Structure 1
């Protein structure tokens, strides 16, 4: 499977084209994003096993919205059934992908605990008990260098896991890859395009700060679908479908430079 390497400016194009996808059908794009978020929130409310169920179902929910994005791109009629696409194709592989996500989070946490040891646990206890910023600073200062190393390692592992997961649901659903192969391709595609990805993240964070100024968290109504649609656009750019491996006009869907 071809993985394209794109220039840094493509990060802005992902955001722009994500917005353009939303504007093809704003009501549906925003409503379906909120329905997906509600599904994850509902799973989190399940007693004891809520977080595990939410993580297992997350790839299924993401694929559902990516199918909506595909319908918007192809100018298909959007149906509620699109949100359940992950329950109709490759369901077991998508849930397995959620299992690998849980395993990755556990391994990252274990690595942090092993490296941080008792000082890390003491710092976490101090953070839980702290009520003032100065108390937080004192707890982190007293923790020592081993805690700083463990936090950096944990952060690095979480970043790698995030990059390996972000495109994996689409690669399983649209490209028929197995979960581990999809995670490997997602990580490779993300690292190969680290420059546009960095530009994209900076732009999205600026947009998030601007939208946070809106009252009653109304900015999330725009930020959530924009994040999902722009993620779909970046996936389509980095991992072209098989029929797009032949030369296509510059204005063809998903091919703009």
Structure 2
């Protein structure tokens, strides 16, 4: 499913971060945010992604979601070499994953229902199924009474739940979540993680970046831990990487 071999990512001009660093100085262009990262996540596995702020979690997720190309190393996703794949194939790979962004990225002009329905409609799924499954998802996640609200009318926790519902409504083979419980209270966070664990049990590979130690203890699963851009722990192998 996912295999990284000695992957490094350097922020700078070029294909890694298009349009983001054009006006940065030379030192910033050469800053390495991932260094020699290697791990494998098999299909259907769950992994916590841990580390302090600035450890490289968001950078690694950006690579995994095909938002940044590794500077060096090899990255395989769904059995495909990402660096060697043509752009059209990368688009197809991207459609096989759901992503919960830290900044949520809900479309402000759409209702909660239409935000969550968007992936299904882009996939040209029949509208009766869209109506039924989106309604069921929003009821399950606690937004059944907020179907017609715009994102700006929701609380932070409600916005987070809407973003999560949008990411999982198609039950993607791969789900990447960057701090998905950050704006939720403890009961809501537990309920949300139960949903993600259920998705995992149905066969999806799930990777969740979090600072929430309580959730990590409650939902015991192997962890990947980063420190200053290096992988220092791979719980699936039970080794500490020097």
TM over 0.5: no
Larger helix percent? 1
TM norm structure 1: 0.28
Structure showing greater radius of gyration is 1
Larger strand percent? 2
TM norm structure 2: 0.29
